[in-house]
Amino acid sequence: MKSFDLIVIGAGSGLDVAVGAAEQGLKTAIIEEGPLGGTCLNRGCIPSKMIIYSAEVADLIQQAGKFGLAASLTKVDFKQVTERASKTVDADARSIEQSLRQGKNPVLFKGRAKFIGPRMVQVNGETLQGRKILLAAGARPSIPPIEGLDKVPYLTSKEALRLTRLPKSMIILGGGYIAAELGYFYAALGCKTTIIQRGPLLIPREDRDISKLFTSLWKKKYTVLLNASATKVEGNKDSITVQVTANNSVRKVTAEKLLVVTGIRPNSDTLNLEKTGVKTNKNGFVVVNKYLETSAKNIWALGDLAGVYLFKHSANLEAEYVLNNILDRKKPVDYYPMPHAIFTNPQIAGVGLTEQEVIRQKKKYVVGKYYYQHTGMGAAMEEKDGFVKLIVDKRSKEILGCHLLGPEASILSHEVVVAMKANRRKALEILRSAVHVHPALSEVVHRAALSVPL
């Protein structure tokens, strides 16, 4: 049996903790079953954004006419699009592994970890004892119990990033952010796309104004079935048929490929956590406190496994705090303010509370809203739909939330994030008083702030 000061299970953001602990002199082990770098690098944000950028370029070409330019998309080398991403992330994962193997600390163990005692882990038949443990094993796609689904070839987000031939048609089960991003990618490059969403809106966790407009825009471009449930699936490698129940009627939808993106499932069930005393909630996420400590002494958890936020940037933030807490520099995680973005068309971004959350919390609030088209750059871009929405506490003037839909929303949101972080109470004043370049696109944020009724 080998003993370590720290054992880290999962080499996504957990890798940052393992390396940081080793640099501070802790004898550290890191266990990873798959390629190094975790979900984000290998099957998430990095490869998805690389292929989505190709979709954005295709969109620009197809919109050239409204700017007086004659251009058309004559060919899509789909294999080059996806292999550009796959080769990049695979090379990065190999580079991380090679770097770890060249050093003596942390020590890499490739394989699946299972607990056989409170802080005793078995991997590939070898037993490791850890004085402290970090659980960073992430999550995987959640597959719904639909009749026949287990008998047909279907894609998850992992496989959808690595296809080398563009399908002629695709059915997407799910209407969240992964469905929106991958649906946009495939549709923009010429795949006939049908989205089946159980609820009345796409991206339903966003601010209601965002999700309503986004749903309306997508219904104009793609086949979107709302309030619909997939009840049966049948087919083969060439064709998949999904039986859909919606509005008390049943119909069948057929496509070449089926993509299932109905949520994620934490990997807690693979770890044999009952041996540790670590508690999970009803959805399988590891329960943590504000220090990211679990219910078991000297065991922490972060990232998708803990499920506080399901973003790579939140996991990276948690890694910083976990490292300090492991090193006995105890400090609660400060998530404020936590932004996010959806890289689709139109692009979405947000930070803070949605209007529906503010209403549920019975806060008194005011809203400032401004449309891209009423700014110089928005008009130049022919942007008809995009807007920025600020939700502000009526009494304290604190920005409770900001939600954006339109070009570069992910970038524009950071002006608000920085202002909120700089001064929680005066963020709105900062946005209103800062001089903005005219006619930069960021004027839409400035004018949204100025439009808040004080």
Enzyme catalytic residues: 438
Phi/psi of residue 213, each to 5°? -70, -45
286 Cβ contact partners less than 8 Å away, ≥ 6 residues apart:
135, 266, 268, 273, 278, 279, 280, 294, 301, 305, 306, 307
Which two three-digit tokens encode residue 88? 């990049």
80-109 b/e with 16+ CB inside 10 Å = b?
ebbeebbeebbebbeebbeebeeeebbbbb
* 137-to-114, 134, 143, 277 alpha-carbon distances in Å: 11, 9, 18, 17
- CA pair distance 8, 282, nearest whole angstrom: 24
- One-character DSSP codes across 152-218: S--B-HHHHTS-SS--SEEEEE--SHHHHHHHHHHHHTT-EEEEE-SSSSSSTTS-HHHHHHHHHHH
Helix (H, G, I), strand (E, B) or coil at 141: strand
Encode 237-263: b = buried (16+ Cβ within 10 Å), e = exposed: eeebbbbbebeeeeeebebbbbbbbbe
Q: How far is CA 137 from the centre of its chain?
A: 16
Distance CA 423, CA 156 (A): 41
Copy the structure tokens of residue 139.
């999550």
Distance between CA atoms of 185 and 55, rounded to whole angstroms?
5
Nearest to 373 by CA among 398, 346, 344, 406: 406
Closest CA to 2 of 125, 112, 144, 87: 125
Tokens of 181: 């991003």
Q: State which amino acid sits at residue 248.
A: N
For the stretch 249-255, contacts whose Cβ atoms lie closer than 8 Å and that sit 24 or more positions apart, written own/partner, are 253/171, 253/194, 253/196, 253/225, 254/169, 255/167, 255/169, 255/170, 255/171, 255/192, 255/194
Q: How far apart are CA 46 and CA 312, in angstroms?
A: 10
First to last CA, the chain: 66
